[in-house]
Structure 1
Amino acid sequence: MYKVFVNDKALFLTNEVQKETNFKIFLLESIDIKKLIIKLFQNKIENAFLYHPDEKLIMKTLKAKIPVVKAGGGLVYNEEGNVLFIYRNGKWDLPKGGTEKNETMEETAMREVEEETGVSGLSVVKKLQKTYHVFKRNGRYKLKQTYWYEMKSTFKGIPKGQEDEGIEKVEWIHPNDIPKLLENSYENIKLLFKK
């Protein structure tokens, strides 16, 4: 099963239909995805299941219905074990951004972390899960598929937010303070911290 977020509402892509659900169930094959997304943005639907019988084809079927933007991002730890967060658009987030030509996802993630935060001395520890969310740009809905990497950094300076990306703050957050901070974050970011 996949979770795709539209704001803080979840679209569950599944090949199983469960009994007794307070969710609306739609057939992925025949749904007008734009109309469904608009209803989620307008709070007319809380959450929805998109059903497709073949689990291997679920994401491919969704991607055929909506343009996909690929991004790379980092869950970055410093040598003290603190995590790098950015503050943008009134919420706490992790640094991420779109891929450039001839770049691997890993290279994208490292470049974006450095560009958005000024933090260097990065190395990838391991690949994390992908997250999915829908956003609107130039009047069109798009699906952002973000490839996440756990990273460590030897950076000793003061991180600085990329102003032209609207990043107001960049901070190293102690692990004990992360649950409180996640109360004002995005659902797809929260997924990365679930054990």
Structure 2
Amino acid sequence: MYKVFVNDKPLFLTSTVEKETDFQIFLLETADIEQLIVKMFNHKIDKAFLYHPDEKLSLKMLKEKFPVAKAGGGLVYNKEGKVLFILRNGKWDLPKGGMEKGEIIEETALREVEEETGVGGLKIVNKLQKTYHIFKRNGSYKLKVTHWFEMKTNYNGILTGQAEEGIEQVAWLSPAEIKEALKNSYENIKLLFEEHKIIQE
């Protein structure tokens, strides 16, 4: 099952039909997806499932309906085991950004983390999952696919938030602080931490 966030509301791409309770289910092949996205954006639908017997194909079909923006980001640990967070537009987030021409996605992720936080000496140690969200830019909807990488660094210098990207603060957060920060974060960031069981109860 794929989870795509629309305005922080989940849209599940699924190959199993579940009994409807607190959500609506649509057939991917016949649904007016743009209309569904508009309703989710306007808070008329909080949670929806798009059904197709082939899950991988369902993601391909969604990508055909919207322009895809590729991004790379980092879940960065320092030597004390703290994780690098940014506060952007009043919400805690992880550093990430769009792919530039001629880059491979790993280069995008490393460059964006350094540009947004000032942290250098980054090394990719693991490829994490991709997250998906639909956003609106200049009146049209786009599907953003973010490739996440676990990174390590021994950097202990000054943290510098990229002001032109709306970054108000950069901080190394301990597991307890992460738990608190995730209460004011985005669903796809929470998903990343859940999937990798980074925060131990």
- Tell me the TM-score normalized by structure 2: 0.94
Supply the RMSD in Å over aligned alpha carbons.
0.9
Deviates more, 1:12-21 or 1:175-184: 12-21
Q: Which amino acid aligns with 1:54?
A: D
Alignment correspondent of 1:155: 155
Q: 1:64 is paired with a residue of what secondary structure?
A: helix
Deviates more, 1:25-34 or 1:94-103: 25-34
**Regions of 4+ moved over 3 Å:** none
Does the 8 Å CA contact 1:127/1:150 hold for their aligned counterparts?
yes
Q: 2:161 is paired with a residue of what secondary structure?
A: coil
- Aligned equivalents of 2:135 and 2:67: distance in 1? 11
Alignment correspondent of 1:64: 64
Query: How many correspondences in the alignment?
Result: 195
Shift of 1:21: 3.1
- Aligned equivalents of 1:96 and 1:71: distance in 2? 7
- Aligned equivalents of 1:20 and 1:90: distance in 2? 35
Alignment correspondent of 2:88: 88
- Aligned equivalents of 1:20 and 1:166: distance in 2? 40
- Aligned equivalents of 2:96 and 2:185: distance in 1? 14
Shift of 1:45: 0.6
- Aligned equivalents of 2:19 and 2:36: distance in 1? 22
Cα gap change, 1:134 to 1:20, in 2 (>3 Å): closer
Shift of 1:58: 1.1
Shift of 1:123: 0.0
Alignment correspondent of 2:9: 9
Deviation track 1:96-138 (CA, whole Å, cap 9, x = no partner) reads 0011112111111000000111100000010001000111111
Aligned pairs for 1:39-78 within 5 A: 39-78=39-78
Cα gap change, 1:20 to 1:27, in 2 (>3 Å): closer
- Aligned equivalents of 1:139 and 1:146: distance in 2? 21
- Aligned equivalents of 2:114 and 2:3: distance in 1? 28
- Aligned equivalents of 2:57 and 2:28: distance in 1? 10
Q: 1:43 is paired with a residue of what secondary structure?
A: coil
Q: Which runs of 5+ in 1 are unaligned?
A: none
Deviation track 1:48-90 (CA, whole Å, cap 9, x = no partner) reads 0001111230110111111110000000001111100001111
Does the 8 Å CA contact 1:122/1:151 hold for their aligned counterparts?
yes
- Tell me the TM-score normalized by structure 1: 0.97
Q: Which amino acid aligns with 2:160?
A: K
Q: 2:76 is paired with a residue of what secondary structure?
A: strand
Does the 8 Å CA contact 1:85/1:171 hold for their aligned counterparts?
yes
Q: 1:35 is paired with a residue of what secondary structure?
A: helix
- Aligned equivalents of 2:20 and 2:64: distance in 1? 30
Shift of 1:20: 4.3
Alignment correspondent of 2:19: 19
Deviation track 1:25-63 (CA, whole Å, cap 9, x = no partner) reads 111122222211111111111100001111230110111
Aligned pairs for 1:111-190 within 5 A: 111-190=111-190
Q: Which runs of 5+ in 2 are unaligned?
A: none
Does the 8 Å CA contact 1:129/1:147 hold for their aligned counterparts?
yes
